[in-house]
Amino acid sequence: MLKKAIVLIYDGLGDRPVDSFGGLTPLEYAKTPNFDKLASRAECGLMHTLGRGFRPGSDTSHLAIFGYAPAEYYPGRGPIEVAGIGLKMADGDVAFRGNLGTVDENMVIQDRRAGRIRDVEPLTKALDGLEIDGVTLIAKPGTAHRAGVVLRGEGLSSAVTDADPHEVGQAVWEVKPTDDSPEAKRTAQILNKFVAKTHDVLNKLEFNKERQSRGDLPGNCLLVRGAGQYRSFPSFKERFGFSACCVAGGGLYKGVGAFLGMDIIDVPGATALPDSDIEAKFKTSFKQLDSHDFIFIHVKAADSLGEDGNPEGKAEFIAKCDKAMALFNNLPKDTLLAVTADHSTPCELKQHSADPVPVMFYGEGVRVDDVTEFGERACAKGSLGHIEGKDIMPQVQNLMGRLHLIGA
List interacting residues with its own copies (CB under 8 A): 1, 16-17, 23, 25, 46, 50, 52-61, 70, 74, 77, 226, 346, 348-349, 351-355, 364-370, 376-377, 380-381, 383, 385-387, 390-391, 393-395, 397-398, 401, 403-408
Listed in sequence order, the residues at least 6 apart from 4 whose beta carbon sits closer than 8 Å to its beta carbon are: 289, 292, 293, 294, 295, 332, 334, 335, 336
From residue 72, alpha-carbon distances to 76, 205, 233 in Å are 11, 42, 10
Task: Identify the burial level of 407 via C-beta atoms within 10 angstroms of its C-beta, where 0-12 means exposed, 13-18 middle and 19 or more buried.
Answer: exposed
Stated as kind and residue range, the H or E segment containing 388 is strand 385-388
Which one, 47 or 223, has the nearer CB to its own copies?
A: 47
**Least distance (Å) from its own copies to the CB of residue 1?**
7
Q: Closer CB to its own copies, residue 57 or residue 153?
A: 57
Nearer to its own copies, 267 or 387 (CB): 387
In whole angstroms, the minimum distance from the beta carbon of 194 to its own copies comes to 23
- What minimum distance in Å lies between the beta carbon of 317 and its own copies? 20
Question: Taking the complex as a whole, how short is the minimal distance between the CB of residue 183 and its own copies, in angstroms?
Answer: 23
**Three-state secondary structure string covering 335-368:** EEEEEECCCECCCCCCCCECCCEEEEEECCCCCC
- Give the C-alpha separation, 58 to 2, whole Å: 29
Query: Which residue lies nearer to its own copies by CB, 148 or 226?
Result: 226
Closer Cβ to its own copies, 178 or 398, answer by number: 398
Nearer to its own copies, 186 or 300 (CB): 300
Least distance (Å) between residue 94 CB and its own copies: 17
Cα 208-210-214 angle, rounded to 5 deg: 115
Three-state DSSP at 125 gives helix
**Contact in structure between 202 and 220 (CB atoms under 8 Å):** yes
Distance of closest approach, residue 364 Cβ to its own copies, in angstroms: 8
Instruction: Report the 10 Å Cβ neighbour count for 169.
Output: 8
Q: How far is the CB of 61 from its own copies (least distance, A)?
A: 7
Residue 362 CB, shortest distance to its own copies, in Å, is 13
What CA–CA distance (Å, rounded) separates 79 from 57? 15
Longest dimension (CA), the chain: 75
**Exposure letters 314-325 (e unless 16+ CB within 10 A, then b):** bbbbbbbbbebb
With residue 186 as reference, give the H or E element that holds it. Answer: helix 182-203
Q: Of 219 and 389, which CB lies nearer to its own copies in the complex structure?
A: 389
**Which residue number, 61 or 124, has a Cβ lying nearer to its own copies?**
61
